[in-house]
Amino acid sequence: MISPCGRQMDEYTKHIREAPWFNEAVAIARSISQDPLYLIGGAVYRTLISAYYNRAIPFADLDFLVGKRAKSFTLPPHMKCHVTDYDGIPAWTAGEHDGVLKITAPHLRIDILSMDNLPHPKTLANYLYNVPFTIQSIAYEIDVDKLWGETGIRAILDKSVGINNEEAVRKLAEANKVNVEQLLWRKAAELGFEAVLPFEGRTSYFH
């Protein structure tokens, strides 16, 4: 069981809720899914980094983890959707719904991952355990305005990126045709954070 954490970050969740994309994206995700509803991925940690350190860290899309995805639904006519693998983690595509639902609009890109697609046990804790990097091990539970994931919150506060799940990082590196170290450095460089290497206590800095 995981506990709510990150008191140092709690006051910064308002920047997620006040973001111009938040209400529309949440309404779309909620309309085609069942609770619980979590915002995950770069929209969480990049928004928090931007607010906490007062510097812009842009992100490309909005990722949601939902209890279940509706088997049928209707989207506004200006939106398109398709199903694809969860980037870099093929094992996550085996489930009742085979893959991640990607919704695109001229001004918005949304990825919806169902708990059905997670490895067992199908819980938020297991999602946080299986993401590749420490910075990604964070989630925002929308209905209760709460951050989860001590590892991800600590990564933000420490300004560091490390390996969270070795198997997931290895698969992601193979998919990107780079080695694990290159992938780690790249992720740290995107954020201006320290890359914590998993061997010999070495670190690499990006400022």
Per DSSP, the three-state class of 68 is strand
Tell me the domains of the chain and their CATH numbers.
7-157 (3.30.460.10)
172's CB contacts (< 8 A; 6+ apart) are 87, 88, 89, 132, 183
Q: Which residues pair with 38 in a beta bridge?
A: 65, 141
CA angle, 48 then 52 then 185, to 5°: 70
- Specify the pLDDT at position 201: 44
Rounded-to-integer distance, Cα 150 and Cα 135, Å: 10
C-alpha–C-alpha distance, residues 43 and 46, integer Å: 6
33-91: per-residue pLDDT in tens? 988 999 999 999 999 999 999 998 888 789 999 999 888 888 888 899 988 765 544 44
